[in-house]
Amino acid sequence: MHGKAEPGSPGSLREANRNRVIEALRELGVASRAEIARRTGLSRTTVSTIVADLRQAGLVVEQDGDGPPIPGAQGRPPTMIALHRSAGVAVGIDFGKRHLAVAIADPSHEILAEEKRELPDDYEAQQALDAAAALVEESLAAVGAVREDVLGVGLGVPGPIHLATETVGSSSILPGWVGLHPASEMTRRLALPVHVENDANLGALAELTWGAGRGCRDLVYLKVSTGIGAGLVIGGQLFRGAGGTAGEIGHTTIDETGDICRCGNRGCLETMAGAAAIAALLERSRGGEIDAERFIELALAGDTGCRRAIADAGRHIGVAVANLCNLFNPERIVVGGAVGVRTGELLIEPLRDSVRLRAIPTAAEDVEIVPGRLGERAELLGAVALVLHRGGSVPRGAQGAAAGGAGR
């Protein structure tokens, strides 16, 4: 019978190294042994030994020939490694202004199930949380998973999360959620560990994991939707700031004599470039109600006024992004969110022009501004990635692998 290895003992070191390999595979999804070695800092020999132990325990699988070719290398692509489905599943929940979505993924980052439900405007938080819990249970059953399989639940909300209290901040676009502790509310419903994050940060994690941010170390995900937010990745890790409100770019002051924002300040970027602001501007000239879906549809069909309104929004956003580039010097900015995704270059090209005009030349040259690849799924996939990137407990069966390898 194997007891727990003493801290500092060879067995403890082996167990720690094994956990590092498992955590790397959770983050990478599918990777070569060399890639795992780079991510963990372990030698290739150590990685190969650990992978062999995990494979013998049935926790990892090999995927021959699926790896990308290495430039200049001869022969076959490297053999790729992934955690087996038995290592558990990650659950993601995304709340938007008018929707609820749930996704289930295995440790190789394959999405096993994905469901979305429309919600009424300014929906009541407790009812939405109940609906989310029911949808999670339904989705787990659909993929043949049980609670014991769940590595964790990632939960996204459209507003800042205060780190110290894990409550929703006052600038949330869902007023009824302000002061709510969504992680504990969902934990109470599901009896599972829940990690909460704001939607822009989740978009950043998703694009970093699956999309236009892959391979980046310093990245901004810009969510342009009802509100405007930014998820910041520094050195490959999410940057949340002292209290969790880093990235609230929508509340950058653009015009100090402008309209009063929902946050209480004047002339915030959101009051000039958010979806509601664009719609309100167009309503004045058209004499009737218009929403984001309609003005985007008209713009894509060639409507001059709608195209101009979107371009102006892009230029306003570029002012804030130029300041961000001067301070943060990111290598890539990925534009997403409902408005950012659907308007594409109508918004992004004026945004680029504004950055080139206002950022210092070196910062403007360093940054690449690109559309997101994940569309409106980004925040939901980011909720899944939040679980995969957090590490945590060793998956089911891994303790057995650790015990089996301790005497080697």
**Same domain, residue pair 235 and 361:** yes
CA distance readout (Å), 61 to 57, 79, 82, 406: 10, 10, 6, 21
- Domain of residue 39: give its range: 10-86+394-406
Q: Are residues 345 and 259 in the same domain?
A: yes
CA–CA distance, 131 with 272 (Å, rounded to integer): 34
3-state secondary structure of 248: coil
- The SS3 assignment for 180 reads coil
Please give the pLDDT value at position 408: 30
Q: What is the CA radius of gyration of the chain?
A: 23
Co-location of 351 and 261 in the same domain:
yes
Q: Given strand 219-224, what is the order of strands in its sheet? A: 237-239, 228-234, 219-224, 332-336, 368-371
pLDDT at 111 (0 to 100): 92
The answer on 132 and 220 residing in a single domain is: no
Asked whether residue 4 is assigned to any structural domain, the reply reads no
> Contact 15/5 with Cβ under 8 angstroms?
yes
In 3D, which of 66, 152, 156, 58 has the Cα closest to residue 104? 152
CATH number of the domain residue 141 falls in: 3.30.420.40
Same domain, yes or no, for 260 and 132?
no
SS3 109: coil
Domain membership of residue 55 (yes or no) is yes
Q: Are 315 and 199 contained in the same domain?
A: no
**The 99-105 sheet, strands edge to edge:** 111-118, 99-105, 89-95, 150-157, 194-198
Query: What whole-number distance in Å separates Cα of residue 230 and Cα of residue 201?
Result: 7
What is the C-alpha separation between 227 and 377, in angstroms, rounded?
17
pLDDT (0 to 100) of residue 75: 53
Distance of alpha carbon 390 from its chain centroid, rounded?
Answer: 12
Of residues 339, 352, 96, 107, the one with CA closest to residue 209? 107
Q: What is the pLDDT of residue 5?
A: 52
Coil, strand or helix at 367: coil
Determine phi and psi for 167, rounding to 5 degrees: -100, 160
Residue (of 258, 229, 234) closest to 378 by Cα position: 229
In the chain, which residues have pLDDT < 50?
1-3, 65-74, 392-408
Q: How far apart are CA 68 and CA 214, in angstroms?
A: 14
Q: Which residue type sits at 313?
A: A
Are residues 69 and 99 both part of a single domain? no
Residues 369, 264, single domain; the answer is: yes
Residue 1 lies in a domain: no
Instruction: Identify whether residues 342 and 242 lie together within a single domain.
Output: yes
- Residues 158, 337: Cα–Cα separation, whole Å: 11
Distances, alpha carbon 125 to alpha carbons 106, 178, 182, 273, 382, in Å = 29, 10, 9, 27, 21
> What are the residues whose beta carbons fall under 8 Å from the beta carbon of 184, sequence distance 6 or more?
166, 194
Query: pLDDT at position 325, please?
Result: 97
What domain count does the chain have?
Answer: 3
8 Å CB contact between 337 and 203: yes
329 found inside a domain:
yes
